[in-house]
Structure 1
Amino acid sequence: MLIRRAAEADAAAIRVVHDAAFAKPGAPGAETVEAKLVGELQADGDLVPALSLVAERDGRVAGHVCCSHARIGSTPGPVGLGPLGVLPELQSTGVGSALMHAVIAAADALDLPAVVLLGSPGYYARFGFVLAAELGITPSTPDWAARLQVRPLANFPADLTGTFHHAPAFDRF
């Protein structure tokens, strides 16, 4: 498996990955919110190119993860992670974990303070994510409190607290 930065030529394959990974029963082939979100983040200029990664297996795109510009309070710098998608037939084979490790390492290498996401604490804890509330970070939507998580990086300041705000595209879905 090869993890690499996504290229413009990968756009169609990335859509296929997210549409397959997040397909609703009874609606195979329909464009998913996650695929639309990636497109809108790109169109808005909020997708961080160095943090849009694909996993290639046997010469085809098998998974994708991306991060977008975000802020905590009025402080820009942390990034919002998501979506993370893997082709259904390759889920539970290490593709998603490899993408997570790679994107966290890349964000750390860029001296970003944190990666923030909405997701299952049981799944993401293995990558060093903690509930945001433990760090004094709250979600912009209170219902997200139980799933908003932060992965502090080497450049994380102890006084980085406040309300987390994703890129505007997230609010459109």
Structure 2
Amino acid sequence: MSTWIRPAHAEDIDEIAKLNDAAFGQSGEGKIVRKLKRDGDSLLSLIAHDDSRIVGHIEFFRILVDGTPRAVGLGPVSALPGRQRQGIGSGLIRTGLLALEGAGESLVFVLGHADYYPRFGFSAETAAPFRAPWSGPAFMARVINTGAPEAGELTYPPAFG
């Protein structure tokens, strides 16, 4: 069955939230996605579709660096149970990063598996000079265009409160 990617539409939010809840086995990520959308903090939301239903989702949101909108956060990214480990998440990440690069964004952060995100160019070393609510090997960043900030205080949207 073929899978294709498109921007999420407003009417997709319920299905996206359910998909995130199913993928993560809890309601936290579904609540984050709903709050990002409701608060206007969603920068880019993409879905993977298989012609019958949404099978994957990725969310990108604005992060402030020293109070200025100069970075992007990635997450959550999810695929339906039963459709995981089939490249859906990878396709969503690559498509999203290309779209952000084309839009002139310069820096993307992610809090995720330290053995998964480096394959997309993310590193803990790039994120280390930034002050955020979390740190360590799971907190990573990737520069996607020139002019990216090299350090600073990060402010996340209220959805991550």
8 Å contact from structure 1 (residues 139, 148) kept in 2: no
| Equivalent runs, 1:40-55 vs 2, <5 Å | 40-48=35-43, 51-55=44-48
Corresponding position: 1:140 with 2:135: no
Structure 2 gaps of 5+ residues are none
The corresponding residue for 1:164 is 154
- For 2:131 and 2:150, the matched residues in 1 are separated by 14
8 Å contact from structure 2 (residues 126, 142) kept in 1: no
- For 2:47 and 2:146, the matched residues in 1 are separated by 25
8 Å contact from structure 2 (residues 58, 77) kept in 1: yes
- Paired positions, count: 159
Shift of 1:136: 5.0
8 Å contact from structure 1 (residues 137, 163) kept in 2: no
The corresponding residue for 1:129 is 122
8 Å contact from structure 2 (residues 109, 127) kept in 1: no
Shift of 1:115: 1.1
- For 1:64 and 1:135, the matched residues in 2 are separated by 24
Report which stretch shifted further, 70-79 or 14-23. 70-79
Q: Using a 3 Å threshold, how does the CA distance of structure 1 residues 118 and 98 change in structure 2: closer, same or farther?
A: same
Identity of aligned residues (%): 33
SS at 1:145 equivalent:
coil
List structure 1 runs of 4+ shifted beyond 4 angstroms. Answer: none
- What amino acid is the match of 2:15? A
Structure 1 gaps of 5+ residues are 25-31
Give the counterpart of 2:23 among 13, 21, 24: 21
- What amino acid is the match of 1:128? G
